[in-house]
Amino acid sequence: MNISLVKVRKPSIGIPEVTPPLGIMYLAGYLRKYRPGKDNVKIFDLSVQSEDYVIENLKDSDIVGLSSTNRDGLYLSNVIKHIRKANTRCKLILGGPIASSLMDELFDHFDIDCAVAYEGEQTFLELIEKFDGGNIPFENIKGIVYKNGSSKFTGRRETIENLDDEIPFPAWDLIIENPLSKEYWKRKSFAFFRISNKYMGLFTSRGCPYRCIYCHDIFAKRFRAHSPERVVAEVEYLNTNFGITDFEFYDDTFNFDKDRTRKICDLILKKRIKINIYFPNGLRSDRLEKDIVEKLAKAGTKVLCFAIETVSERLQKLLRRNLKFENINNMIQVAVKNGIHAEGFFMLGFPTETKKEMLETIHFAAASHLHSAAVSIAIPQKGSELFSKYIGENSPQILGENYYEYSSSVSELPPHEVRKLLSYMFRKFYLRPKRIFRIIRTLPLSFIFSRRFLAQVIKWLDVVFHKKHLSAQ
């Protein structure tokens, strides 16, 4: 079958980052392993390719798989309309975070045949078998959402337990050996900076055992991981065969298993693989130890993000994040001492959060040894407990809002006041000569004079001066 997998995302000034579409690369690799020689699989990415080009290349597709998020829901709806006009016979399958989040609303927003919710490889494979002449009815395929009068969800599929044996390498070649790859190399990725243009993202584990009420549940609330040997095998394969030296790790909780983290570093050092490592998705700060940070530095870590979010102990309990603060400043200092660029993740506008609590988080960040900070507004996403408890489980999700804009507020402050504090936090954190000097010292010259650094500066300015969608109340 002719199968086209499309990442549907529209970069903005405030969120300019683009990365190779690992989710659909995993699907492509999975189909190759379990349907060898049966499919012609292609990958497209609307974050770096023009819509006209992608639509034109979907005209002969039997299956079009789309992956997207709530933020891009409005754009996704328009893309689907254009695909339907260009190819009236193809089957449209929706996946990605939006499919798991909006299961009850999917057919109200999107003209699709069905959707794959949560972990997708096995479900997507069974759907392809069905559309390739199989007789299995929709209701017998676990993990899909289909339309039978209204949206019907067939139930959550069991998670894949043995990741090493069942999940093959992503289809790296469909990106790296494609001219498309050059679009990723020249643009800003999720890491604060990269040393090399060429890089690749990795998922070395799935799921998170913590139960933060604002977070997704796509891979279940359990930690499942590739072995250290498998992780390093992927790194070595990409390094040897494609010359990739820079790697971004996107795990939800890469360092949950401390011994696994140590062994991954030890294997990289033992094999003498010279690489640069970045953790743009944040590590669990209270799962770090001095020897782990030192090993990460020796293995090649250049950027390490500390997911802190709020310094309010009351909110940590309310959010069920339960981060232990005693160790955080020490680990930040250890990272800085070992030459790692330390970035902090923070959010403002949590449920019942007061102005005083927001200011405490702002002052903590500004006084810390962090080189940089990523700050966003807490936006409830459907499918999370934050949404069901504070917005209402049956309420519709507002599509299209990014990390820095929100039309309502679940905190003690109105949205325009939360937005002002976010802008104030960026100014207070970054407009310090000492911090500016420390940031510049960590950056390679090749990055400072690149398009990627310009995108970062424009993003900062957009965060500080952004006015779109703010409530006037």
Give 414 or 170, the one with higher predicted confidence.
Answer: 170
Largest Cα–Cα separation, the chain = 67
Model pLDDT, residue 13: 67
Starting at the edge strand found earlier in the chain, the sheet holding 246-249 runs 199-202, 246-249, 276-283, 301-309, 341-348, 372-377
Tell me the CA distances in angstroms from 215 to 210, 224, 321, 389, one per residue in order: 9, 17, 10, 13
* 3-class secondary structure, 294: helix
Q: Which residues pair with 6 in a beta bridge?
A: 44, 66
Asked if 25 contacts 175 with a C-beta cutoff of 8 angstroms, the reply is: yes
| Mean pLDDT score of the chain | 91
pLDDT at 121 over 80: yes
SS (H, E, C) 191-204: CCCCCCCCEEEECC
Alpha-carbon distance of 76 to 96, in angstroms, equals 12
Q: Which residue has the tokens 């337990």?
A: 161
Model pLDDT, residue 155: 96
Model pLDDT, residue 36: 97
Confidence of residue 158 (pLDDT cuts 50, 70, 90): very high
Model pLDDT, residue 470: 38
Model pLDDT, residue 303: 96
> Residue 276: which residues within 8 A CB-CB, separation 6 or more?
194, 195, 196, 245, 246, 247, 300, 302
Listed as own residue / partner, the contacts of 118-121 with beta carbons closer than 8 Å and 24 or more positions apart are 118/143, 118/156, 118/157, 118/217, 118/218, 118/219, 118/220, 119/143, 119/157, 119/159, 119/160, 119/206, 119/218, 119/219, 119/220, 120/23, 120/27, 120/95, 121/26, 121/27, 121/30, 121/160, 121/166, 121/167
Please report, as a single letter, which amino acid is at residue 356: K
Q: What is the per-residue DSSP string for 50-78? A: -HHHHHHTTTT-SEEEEE--GGGHHHHHH
Asked if 54 contacts 66 with a C-beta cutoff of 8 angstroms, the reply is: no
Main-chain phi, psi angles of 75, to 5 degrees? -65, -40
> Cα dihedral sign for 239, 244, 246, 249?
negative
Measured in Å, how far apart are the chain's first and last C-alpha atoms? Answer: 54
Model pLDDT, residue 472: 32
Mean pLDDT (whole number) for 102-127: 95
Q: Which residue has the tokens 């969608």?
A: 469
Alpha-carbon distance of 257 to 283, in angstroms, equals 11
Length of the chain: 473
Per-residue model confidence as pLDDT tens digits over 265-314: 999 999 999 999 999 998 998 899 999 999 999 999 999 999 999 999 99
Model pLDDT, residue 15: 78
pLDDT at 413 over 70: yes
Confidence of residue 217 (pLDDT cuts 50, 70, 90): confident
Mean pLDDT (whole number) for 110-121: 96
Give the DSSP letter of residue 274.
-
Alpha-carbon distance of 461 to 189, in angstroms, equals 18
Per-residue model confidence as pLDDT tens digits over 228-261: 999 999 999 999 999 999 999 999 999 999 999 9
Helices marked H in 210-354: 228-242, 258-270, 290-299, 313-318, 328-337
Mean pLDDT (whole number) for 47-60: 96
Asked if 32 contacts 92 with a C-beta cutoff of 8 angstroms, the reply is: no
pLDDT at 468 over 60: no
pLDDT at 449 over 90: no
Q: Which residue has the tokens 């190399």?
A: 185
> Residue 411: which residues within 8 A CB-CB, separation 6 or more?
348, 349, 350, 351, 352, 353, 354, 358, 378, 418
Confidence of residue 402 (pLDDT cuts 50, 70, 90): low
pLDDT at 467 over 70: no
pLDDT at 137 over 50: yes
Model pLDDT, residue 406: 64
Model pLDDT, residue 473: 30
The first and second tokens of residue 17, run together, are 């980052």
From 115-124, 209-218, 328-337, the region with the lowest mean pLDDT: 209-218
Give 397 or 433, the one with higher predicted confidence.
Answer: 433
Model pLDDT, residue 1: 96
Confidence of residue 469 (pLDDT cuts 50, 70, 90): very low
Model pLDDT, residue 450: 78
Confidence of residue 37 (pLDDT cuts 50, 70, 90): very high
Listed as own residue / partner, the contacts of 36-40 with beta carbons closer than 8 Å and 24 or more positions apart are 38/1, 38/132, 39/1, 39/2, 39/3, 39/128, 40/1, 40/2, 40/3
Alpha-carbon distance of 310 to 350, in angstroms, equals 9
Give 359 or 470, the one with higher predicted confidence.
Answer: 359
Model pLDDT, residue 453: 78
Other CB atoms within 10 Å distance of the CB of residue 82: 14
> Residue 259: which residues within 8 A CB-CB, separation 6 or more?
none
Q: What is the per-residue DSSP string for 154-188? A: --PPPPP--HHHH-PPP-THHHHTSTTHHHHHHS-
Other CB atoms within 10 Å distance of the CB of residue 13: 13
Model pLDDT, residue 269: 98
The first and second tokens of residue 182, run together, are 């050059």
Alpha-carbon distance of 462 to 345, in angstroms, equals 18
Model pLDDT, residue 44: 97
Model pLDDT, residue 408: 65
